[in-house]
Amino acid sequence: MRIDLYTKTILTIIALLLAVMTLKPIIQPASASAQASLSGVQFTTASGGFNAFDTRNGDVWLYSYNAGVYGAKYLGRIAELGRPLVNR
């Protein structure tokens, strides 16, 4: 009879732990976050593609689609507003 009480106790503990694991995402959902690799990049449209501007370092890239081929070209770095782009 002692084995029966032990088995019921262990199965009850297992059931409670499974319930806690199942209900935790409902009670305390994980917070959403943006992708870190693109978190400082802004995009604008350009003729035949789009520009990407990295606000963290000032780099400007042109992504274009020409004759079925995608390409990327580094345009330069914005060192100061109103000034021309600076090449590396």
pLDDT tens-place string over residues 71-83? 888 888 888 777 7
What is each CA distance from 54 to 25, 29, 47, 63, 82, in whole angstroms? 35, 31, 19, 13, 17
If one compares 10 and 86, the residue with the highest pLDDT of the two is 10
**Residue 1 has what pLDDT?**
58
Sign of the torsion angle spanned by Cα atoms 40, 45, 47, 48: positive
pTM (2 decimals)?
Answer: 0.50
Q: Assess contact for 77 and 57: CB atoms under 8 A.
A: yes
Rounded distance, CA 53 to CA 42, Å?
5
User: What tens digit of pLDDT does each residue of 7-56 get?
Assistant: 999 999 999 999 999 999 888 888 876 667 777 888 888 878 888 998 88
